[in-house]
Amino acid sequence: MARPVSAPPGTVDAHHHLWVRARHPQPWIDPATMAAIDADFTPADLARVTHPAGVTETVLVQANSTETETMDLLGVAADHPLVRGVVGWLDVTTPDAADRLARLRAARGGHLLVGIRYSVQDEPDPAFLDRADVRRGITAVGAAGLAFDLLVRQHQLGAAGRLARDLPEVRFVLDHLGKPALGGTDLGDWARDLRALAAPANTTAKLSGLVTEVQRSPWTPQDLRPAVEHALDAFGPDRLMFGSDWPVCLLTSGYDRWVDTLVELLDPLGDDERAAIWRHTARRVYRPESS
């Protein structure tokens, strides 16, 4: 018997990945500790997990820091109607960011480019987001009408907040709530910095990637509840969106379990508030063709 659909009809998964390692190696995957995702993940695999969960649209996010991967992802989106938008990669430190964006837009499926992400979490320089060259590149992203995904860790939230305040013309999307350490740790500093990041109206955040941040196993919905409640207080439902972080979520959770958990955690909200998180925020911020 098929599992009951738990997410509302028309749900948008605003954050997932796809990869074929022969084409795009994933060196960050440690086979010894990450065996669950040491495999290829294709559009057919995506359809198998999204359909039972009630997801009808997705946003495909880069996993490799190359423009070649971004072009390939745009081609995937062009061929698979489930994928309504792509958050690609761009070297935001380069002086020709605008020209590079134009080339991505000119590629097959380029009209489906809805955002850019750069792995700030891997930058050792604590002032990376304050650098003039980086800000020029991110400004070019905003000028192209694209969102900029903030892939940062908890200690980088303060810099991300400064960036959002200083560049009000750019739409910023915080991935994975800044990766708070969950499961009994003190969230005070993270919650403070999250509120500061949420203060500018040009910021939104994804309820994604939380199941892999719990510091103990097995996790329960109660381990995630404080982070979700802090996010609701900081951003409000109209500036939050659902993301699965599939297949990375498979390290600790199936796709359906994360959807079911979020349904439970959002149950106290009203219908319109839940609808914002499950679909409307993603459509508004990323502005895919379907909107």
CB-count burial class (<10 Å; 0-12, 13-18, 19+) for 209: buried
pLDDT tens digits, 57-77: 999 999 999 999 999 999 999
> With the CA atoms of 253, 255, 261 and 263 taken in that order, what torsion angle do they form, in degrees rounded to the nearest 10?
170
pLDDT value for 66 = 97
Q: How many whole angstroms separate alpha carbon 193 and alpha carbon 152? A: 12
Whether a cis peptide bond, with omega within 30° of 0, leads into 247 is yes
Where are the strands (E) in 146-190, listed by range?
A: 147-150, 171-174
pLDDT value for 6 = 73
Phi, psi dihedral angles at 247 (to 5 degrees): -90, 0
Whether a cis peptide bond, with omega within 30° of 0, leads into 81 is no
pLDDT tens digits, 230-247: 999 999 999 999 999 999
Question: Are the C-beta atoms of 68 and 156 separated by less than 8 Å?
Answer: no
The tokens for 56 are 């009808």
Phi, psi dihedral angles at 273 (to 5 degrees): -65, -45
User: What average pLDDT score do residues 184-208 get?
Assistant: 96
User: What average pLDDT score do residues 1-5 get?
Assistant: 46
Instruction: Answer whether residue 4 shows pLDDT above 80.
Output: no
Q: How many whole angstroms separate alpha carbon 244 and alpha carbon 162? A: 27
Looking at CATH, the fold of the domain delimited by 13-286 is given as: TIM Barrel (3.20.20)
Task: Indicate the domain borders of the chain.
Answer: 13-286
